[in-house]
A and B are shown apart, each in its own frame.
Chain A
Amino acid sequence: MKGHTAWRDVAISAVALIAVLAIPLLHRSPAFEDFIIRLSAMALFASSLNLLVGNAGMVSFGHGMFYGLGAYTFALTMQLTNVSLPVAAVLAVAATTFAALCVGAICVRLSTDYFAFITLAVQMLFYSVIISWQTLTGGDQGLRGGIPRREIFGFELTSQLHLYQFCAVVAVLGLLALRHISASPFGQTLRMIRDNEDRASFLGIVLWRARLWAFTIAGGFAGLGGVLAALFVSGAYPELADWPNSGQAIFAVMLGGVNSFLGPVLGAAILLALNDVVTRFTEYYGLVLGIVILVFAVGLRRGVLDFVRSAWPGGAR
């Protein structure tokens, strides 16, 4: 990846960030701000998963574990200690990254199907620990009592506007970092492993080491998404680490497109918007979502952004 594309990415994200930050100055809409806050958590979650799915070809069914772990670590640190918010967030991401390293060390050597199942099993084990360790996590009721929102740099996160700005900045910076990683030689290595692992191996790449790195990094970014989710719900719930949540991320990735960096973000936005719109009209959200997925999957046979880029001759790289 050449230098000018890196600058282009920075420019695009700067423009996007400025646009997102400018909207509330022109028009305040609590529903929209809510949407962006949720999207920033979900976008980080889905994009980090796509580092595994799209780039490395590793289908993890247990990515929700790191999302949940980030949320719980962050919320617990804030509740039990007096550290400031950024410190707690860094701590949560560090803990999640370390957990991903440990889980990855067990999982990454297994082949595709078994990798998917073992990540799912580890996640469900983590979920059962959350449920059964009631004294610490509040069990199936979730961690309640709220997160003390201490002021950071003059930001008061109890105000929705400030939370909105905070989440938007964190999400854009996080996505930019992920983009940088996936465009780096390391990202290229992952795609080579995905396409032909034997060739990669012959070229001297230690497969498990590259995969373990990818898994660890992806876990860390999912943890960052979890921190934002914890801020939004003001606590942490076992559902964040349950498997339907991992499923959500997989569908966001698939719906948006695995081969486009922004695909998962678009997928997450579609899922969230669909949820918001459909639940307003009918209680049968699953029915509508299922039909939409079927139409996309049977009709396009790939993610929306991948489809658009392949249909657009100049756009596809």
Chain B
Amino acid sequence: MDLDALGSCLATPACVVTQTTSGLIVGMLLFLVAAGVTLIFGVLKIVNFAHGTFYMLGGYVAYTALGVTDSYTLAVLSGTLAMALFGALFERTLISRFYGANVLMQLLICYAVVLIFDDVVKIVWGPEFHAMGMPPAFQVPPFFIAGGVVPPFYAVLIGIAALIAIVLGLGLSLTRFGKTVRAAAINPQMVSTLGVNTTVLFATVFAIGGGLAGLAGALAAPVRSLSPGMGFSILIESFIVTVIGGMGSVAGALVSALLIGMVRGFGTIGFPKFTDGLIYIVMIAILILRPQGLFGRRS
């Protein structure tokens, strides 16, 4: 524990800006993954333990696409679309067999998929770490805010994630599709009776969730290195985010992802060895004081 370092960091604007930026990066990536988890849980009542796999595969697909097309934009798009397709496929072939089944059975299926694709990645891309490298467009000098370094790519990444948050929020509350999704979250039988094809709806929700995770993986690839099993830690964190924010709440996922991001950003200075522990303490405290999460409805 190093409270002096934390205090002196909070006193210098440069350090605050740097740590806030890195906290925002963590938080925004986490939000993209957790938004999918919470959306899928909200509508399908499935806790998707394979969500980290989408994130990992999104990163790897983007890595390969970058090598082929030499365009980072296309790489991100292909990572996102590939995972949206994969999500729909996963829902249709496996998850749909286990609706209403034992939670543990769903967990088992998801874990099997995690195990399989961790090894598939090892076979296709090799067990070693891959670095995607910063796209050339962003290899420019960073700008400074109050003396703190902010790489341009970070700003773009945060911007894209914020845009997604807005689109997702408005889309769910205003569009016809968003309203159908929210209705299906409350009563899927009724929605089905009213003539909505819930089979397509469920697959679409899974595709959106998978696509968001793939997008997060593709966006994270230049910042973090790619490795098999990289989906694992983000999976745990996105669950923490989902639980803190309230299962099924996209707004909650945004707030708690940013909260976790900030705890990470500043925790690494104050409690370098116990940052994870700090996050678990936050989660336990929330679960005891407000089990339904910050934005969750009491069921």
* A binding-site residues for B, Cβ under 8 Å: 53, 59, 106, 110-114, 116-118, 120-122, 124-125, 128-129, 131-132, 243, 247, 250-251, 253-254, 258, 284-287, 289-291, 293-294, 297-298, 301
A124 adjacent to B280 (CB under 8 Å): yes
Q: Can you list 5 A-B pairs, Cβ within 8 angstroms, ordered by A?
A: A106-B284, A106-B288, A110-B291, A117-B287, A293-B112
Across the interface, name the chain B residue whose C-beta is closest to A255: B108
Distance between B113 CB and nearest chain A CB, rounded to angstroms: 7
Chain B residues numbered 247-279 whose CB sits less than 8 Å from any CB in chain A: 247, 273-274, 276-277
A121 adjacent to B284 (CB under 8 Å): yes
B239 adjacent to A117 (CB under 8 Å): yes
Contact partners of A258 in chain B: CB under 8 A: 104
B91 within 8 A of partner (CB): no
Contact of A294 among B109, B236, B280, B284 (CB under 8 A): B109
Chain B residues numbered 104-150 whose CB sits less than 8 Å from any CB in chain A: 104-105, 107-109, 111-116, 118-120, 122-123
A287 adjacent to B274 (CB under 8 Å): no
Cα separation A271 to B273 with both chains bound (whole Å): 34
State how many residues of chain B have any CB contact under 8 Å with chain A. 38
Contact of A290 among B107, B112, B240, B281 (CB under 8 A): B112
Interface SS of chain B: helix
B94 adjacent to A122 (CB under 8 Å): no
B103 adjacent to A251 (CB under 8 Å): no
B273 adjacent to A132 (CB under 8 Å): yes
Contact of A128 among B118, B239, B277, B287 (CB under 8 A): B277
Contact partners of A253 in chain B: CB under 8 A: 104
A293 adjacent to B120 (CB under 8 Å): no
A114 adjacent to B112 (CB under 8 Å): no
A298 adjacent to B97 (CB under 8 Å): yes
B243 within 8 A of partner (CB): yes
B162 within 8 A of partner (CB): no
Contact partners of A284 in chain B: CB under 8 A: 119, 122-123
Known interface pairs A124-B276, A289-B115; A118-B284 also in contact (CB < 8 Å): yes
Known interface pairs A125-B277, A294-B112; A110-B47 also in contact (CB < 8 Å): no
B168 within 8 A of partner (CB): no
Contact partners of A290 in chain B: CB under 8 A: 111-116, 119
B113 adjacent to A129 (CB under 8 Å): no
Cα separation A111 to B280 with both chains bound (whole Å): 19
Contact with A along B216-254 (1 / 0, CB 8 A): 000000000000000000001001100100010000000
B283 within 8 A of partner (CB): yes
Cα separation A116 to B283 with both chains bound (whole Å): 13
Cα separation A112 to B273 with both chains bound (whole Å): 31
A128 adjacent to B116 (CB under 8 Å): no
B280 adjacent to A122 (CB under 8 Å): yes
Supply 6 further A-B pairs (C-beta < 8 A) apart from A114-B291, A284-B123, A291-B116: A118-B283, A132-B274, A253-B104, A287-B116, A291-B112, A298-B109
Known interface pairs A117-B239, A243-B236, A287-B115; A125-B284 also in contact (CB < 8 Å): yes
Cα separation A287 to B127 with both chains bound (whole Å): 14
Cα separation A253 to B105 with both chains bound (whole Å): 11
Known interface pairs A251-B108, A286-B119, A294-B109; A125-B287 also in contact (CB < 8 Å): no
Distance between A222 CB and nearest chain B CB, rounded to angstroms: 18
Contact of A254 among B108, B120, B284, B288 (CB under 8 A): B108
Distance between A251 CB and nearest chain B CB, rounded to angstroms: 7
B280 adjacent to A125 (CB under 8 Å): yes
A113 adjacent to B115 (CB under 8 Å): no
Distance between B294 CB and nearest chain A CB, rounded to angstroms: 14
Known interface pairs A110-B287, A294-B109; A286-B104 also in contact (CB < 8 Å): no
Contact partners of B97 in chain A: CB under 8 A: 298
Name the residue in B105, B120, B287 with the highest tally of chain A Cβ atoms < 10 Å from its Cβ: B287
Contact partners of B123 in chain A: CB under 8 A: 284, 287
Contact partners of A254 in chain B: CB under 8 A: 104-105, 108
A59 adjacent to B113 (CB under 8 Å): no
Contact partners of B283 in chain A: CB under 8 A: 117-118, 121
B112 adjacent to A128 (CB under 8 Å): no
Cα separation A285 to B108 with both chains bound (whole Å): 16
B287 adjacent to A53 (CB under 8 Å): no
5 closest residue pairs by CB, A with B: A290-B115, A128-B277, A290-B116, A287-B119, A286-B115
A53 adjacent to B115 (CB under 8 Å): no
Across the interface, name the chain B residue whose C-beta is closest to A127: B276
Cα separation A106 to B277 with both chains bound (whole Å): 17
Contact partners of B112 in chain A: CB under 8 A: 289-291, 293-294, 297
Cα separation A132 to B122 with both chains bound (whole Å): 30
Contact partners of B113 in chain A: CB under 8 A: 290, 294
Cα separation A284 to B124 with both chains bound (whole Å): 12
B111 adjacent to A251 (CB under 8 Å): yes
